[in-house]
Every structure is written in C-alpha cells, then in structure tokens.
A = this chain, B = another copy of it.
C-alpha cells in the first residue's frame, strides 16, 4: 500500500472536532448542548442576498471569471471605500472563502521552508495553511493577562531570521476578539518595513467592532502598500459561511499576478454565491447596526457572566464574536470533555473550544478556552450558569489562588 505524504501526516486534525463524538453522546443521552465552540453565526443573512439566490434564473450555471465577477469586484470597491479602504477592482481577486485567499497569498509569496510569524493564540487553521504551503509557523505569544494586546515589537525582532517572509494577523482577532489599535499597527508597519516582509491581515470580522471602536485596515498603512495583503470573506459579516466567498486584496501587482495564476488553475469561485454576496452589499445600514447591537449585548452577557464565576477570567474583547477565558482547571481539553461526558445542569451542558488548538507553542493556553457568542441571549445566560455549576463540582478544579494569578 503506498504511503501518505509528509504533509498529509503533518496536517492537524481540527481541534474542535475532537470533542464532537462526546457532544453526540451527550445529545444521545437527551442532554442539550450549548454550542459555544464554533463560529457559525445564527443571525439571519440579509434578505437581499436570499432574494438573489431565489431569483437565479440562468439555465446554465456557468463559471465566473477566475478573479470573480467584475461587477461584484467593482461593488466591493464601493463597500470598501465606505470603510475608508480605497482599492480598484483589479486589486481584488474573489476566492473560495477567506481560506483560499490566504493559501493563494502564502503560496504566491513564500517558499517551502520559509517562516511566518503569527501572534498567538491565532485561528487554528493558519497552521494547516502553513503546512499546505510548506511553511514554518513562528509564534509570538500574547497573553490573556494583557487582554491579548500585540506583544512587544522586540519579541517579533527576536524571532526574525533570514527565512522570515511574512507576519500574519487577524484583526479583530479570532479567537481573542482583540482589536489592534492604530499604534499597534504602526509598530507592525515599522518591522514590516525594516525587514521588507509581507503583512497578511485577516479582516473578516471588520464590521464587528464595539464600544465605538473604529477598526483600522492594514490597507491604510502608508509606505508599506507593496507589502500588505488583506484577506476578507462574507462568511461572518453576512452569516453566509456556506457561500464560500472571500477575497484577497493587495496593491502589489506582482502578488496579484501570481495569485491570479493559482485562481485560474482552479477556474472560478462559486457563481450563485457571488451574486448573493454582491446583493448582500446592498443591505441597509440598519442591518449592520442591528447585528452589532445584538452581538454587543451577547458579548456583555457572556463576558460579564464568565467574570462573575469565581476563578474565571475573561478580558472584554472589542471585536469579532469570540472571547478567550481562563478557567480554574488544569487542562481545558479534559474539562471540555468532562462537561460533555460527565456533567449536566438542568439537563444541559456547554461545549467550548479548548484554547491549546489556537496556540503554536506546546502547552500554551492549557487553562483557556474559546467561546463564540453566536447563540441567543437566553442560551448564553443558561450556558454561563451551567459553567458556574460545573466548576463547583469539577474534580480537576485547581486552587483558586493559582487561577487568581491571571487576574493580578
């Protein structure tokens, strides 16, 4: 029997899916599971997008242009302009989700063996994309104690070698919800400029910024226009994860030419979903406002609720719809499994994503878990109470004073 490739062996299994069999068993026992583990939004998609799907009337479902429909790309430039991001439609290539955008970007810019620096914790699949492109992920650690702020720039400097080709950030961040300030982005700019690196910025949560915070795109970092590559997607913005429509944006013509060759090879992104994505851009401002109102209320309920549980610490995120909390347990992988396997409160339990999957440094984040607030407020309240009760009886609970260090 022929062998599996090294990449095939090295690719990580989804850290979230490991727990799925335990959730299925809980469900089979009749226990409800509050799914705080995944970022599948429950908010309705814009009505206009749904209409675009329902009124599709072509008799042949044709390929689109490999770069995506020009009409959609032109519409995107208008939408970006409203966020103060000024690009032409030729600086946009539509991709099959943000995932493909990042893979094409990495493949076009980095050689096998090159290194990419990523502040951790980071979106787990960046590891998988790096392996796909044959790259080494070099983490720079941010900490829950500082609310996952950008690590000191000296720590980036320390990690730079002659193999370093790029820095990847997610802003606002998955899994932390942290929103980088202009000052932090200017610090990143300085190191990108100094070492002539690529700066990839995954900005798929751009619209989800709270408490009056205004996100700054890397596209507005003056002087490093040729280094910057923005990743985007409609998945979270419009609750259209299943559309698989993302894009890659850069003012670097060579990068876009290379990306275009990868795009041509796979022919095109999905056709109908581009029509839906284009229609979604016509959603009224009230759609965005309502969504943000809802997420803010959920965030407050969840984060305040978590912090009200003795021994739990959760920084208040300014963006996205995730938070990372620290629990008074030795290992959240065990805790999360126990929640599903051995615990229920009022015939329900909670599923979270253990944070180790979001760290590249072995052992980091063992006391942390990511929670997504993509459930109704009543469910979030019940989930918090469930966690409160669980921590009263969890056999793996550690001393409160150890956990308290986190809050110091």
A111 adjacent to chain B (CB < 8 Å):
yes
| Interface positions of A from 78 to 134, Cβ below 8 Å from B | 96-97, 99-100, 103, 107-112, 125, 128-129, 132, 134
**Residues from chain B with Cβ under 8 Å of A54 in the complex:** 53-56
* Stoichiometry, copies per complex: 2
Mark each residue of chain A from 1 to 29: 1 if its CB lies under 8 Å from any CB of chain B, else 0.
Answer: 11111111101111001000000000000
Selected from B4, B44, B226, the residue in CB contact (under 8 A) with A108 is B4
Chain A 45-68 interface mask (CB, 8 Å, partner B; 1/0): 100011001111001111110100
Identity of the chain B residue whose Cβ is nearest the Cβ of A108 in the assembled complex: B8
Q: Tell whether A267 is near chain B: CB-to-CB under 8 Å.
A: yes
Cα A405 to Cα B276 with chains together (Å):
54
A270 and B267 within 8 A (CB):
no
CA distance A343 to B301 in the complex (A): 71
1/0 per residue A211-240: CB within 8 Å of B?
000000000000000110000000000111
Are A56 and B59 within 8 A (Cβ)?
A: no
Judge if A300 is at the interface, Cβ distance under 8 Å: no
Give the residue among A4, A60, A110, A254 with the most B Cβ atoms within 10 A. A60
A 243-271 to B, binary, CB cutoff 8 A, 1 in contact else 0: 11000000010110011011011111111
Return A20 CB to nearest CB of chain B, in Å.
Answer: 10
Q: Are A258 and B4 in contact, CB atoms less than 8 angstroms apart?
A: yes
Q: Which residues of B contact A264 (CB under 8 A)?
A: 13-14, 17, 128
A272 at the B interface (CB under 8 A) = yes
Cross-chain contact B4 with A254 (CB below 8 angstroms): yes
* Residue in contact with A242 in the complex, picked from B41, B55, B61, B134, CB distance below 8 Å: B61
Q: Which residues of B contact A60 (CB under 8 A)?
A: 40-45, 239
- Nearest-neighbor residue (CB-CB) of A192 within chain B: B2
For A53, the chain B residues whose CB sits under 8 A away are 53-54, 56, 272
Top-8 shortest CB links A-B: A242-B271, A8-B258, A128-B265, A11-B261, A8-B108, A99-B266, A44-B59, A61-B240
